[in-house]
């Protein structure tokens, strides 16, 4: 279950509104929502929470680059909304890395042969031999490790567990890096308290 809210700073304090994410597919879409709620290009915070799993904050200050914090990157990566916040820059990956991997995978046919390789009887025999060798090696690995970890991931590009992003995203509003790291479920309530926006938030929840 997801909950999303916008907190926009104005001359008279903070204004809060809940928001639907049905039409949000990219970070640009999310930034557009924030900028539409901005008053005189002042700060807008977009808060997204998946119950008992993770929360994320997108901060937009006028035309400046967005600032992002996610409480648990690996959990967010399993969410369509979380993936929006987990940009290549945030994860320290080269832009377009995922697209390159997908393109390479498309070069391999479903039968395991690469484009341009023969697919006649000789190729089939070779493929069968390779499959048997691979299966034997896999069986040997399984025998030597009676209790393999089903959650292990040797992929160098895997998303790390735990918080990621800018820890000081709310420091100027009284939420220190340490405070942010201690927030878990219903983090928005504590953030709103620190901002002095608890009452306006309660009105839209």
Query: Which pLDDT score is estimated for 146?
Result: 43
Length of the chain: 205
Phi first, then psi, for residue 108 (nearest 5°) are -100, 130
First-last CA distance in the chain = 14
> Which residues contact residue 137 at a Cβ distance below 8 angstroms, ignoring those fewer than 6 apart?
none
What confidence score (pLDDT) does residue 144 get? 44
For residue 46, list its beta bridge partners: 6, 58
What does the pLDDT look like over 134-161, one tens digit per residue? 444 445 444 444 444 444 343 334 788 8
Determine the longest span between alpha carbons in the chain, in angstroms: 77
Q: What pLDDT score was predicted for residue 158?
A: 77
The per-residue pLDDT for range 168-205, each reduced to its tens digit, is 999 999 999 999 999 977 899 999 999 999 998 888 87
What does the alpha-carbon distance between residue 189 and residue 204 come to, in Å, rounded to a whole number?
A: 12
Strands (E), 51-90: 54-61, 67-70
Select the highest-mean-pLDDT range: 3-7, 35-39, 67-71, 139-143.
67-71
Q: What is the pLDDT of residue 145?
A: 45
Whether the CB-CB separation of 205 and 17 falls below 8 Å is answered with no
Q: What are phi and psi of 117, to 5 degrees?
A: -80, 145
- pLDDT, residue 77, reads 94
User: pTM score > 0.75 for this model?
Assistant: no
pLDDT in tens, 60-86: 998 899 999 999 999 999 999 999 999
């Amino acid at each position: 279950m997801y909950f999303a809210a916008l907190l926009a700073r104005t001359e008279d304090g903070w204004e809060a509104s809940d928001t639907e994410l049905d039409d949000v597919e990219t970070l640009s879409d999310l930034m557009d929502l924030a900028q539409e709620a901005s008053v005189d290009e002042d700060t807008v915070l977009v808060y997204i929470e998946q119950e008992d799993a993770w929360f994320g904050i997108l901060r937009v200050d006028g035309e400046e680059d967005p600032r992002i914090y996610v409480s648990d990157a690996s959990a967010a990566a399993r969410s369509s909304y979380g993936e929006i916040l987990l940009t290549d820059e945030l994860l320290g990956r080269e832009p377009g890395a995922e697209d390159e991997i997908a393109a390479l995978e498309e070069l391999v046919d479903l039968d395991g042969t690469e484009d341009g390789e023969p697919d006649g009887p000789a190729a089939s025999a070779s493929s069968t031999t390779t499959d048997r060798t691979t299966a034997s090696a896999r069986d040997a690995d399984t025998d030597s490790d009676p209790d393999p970890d089903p959650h292990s991931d040797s992929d160098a590009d895997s998303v790390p567990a735990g918080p990621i992003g800018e820890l000081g995203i709310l420091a100027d509003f009284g939420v220190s890096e340490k405070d942010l790291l201690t927030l878990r479920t219903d983090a928005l309530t504590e953030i709103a308290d620190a901002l002095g926006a608890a009452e306006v938030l309660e009105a839209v929840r």
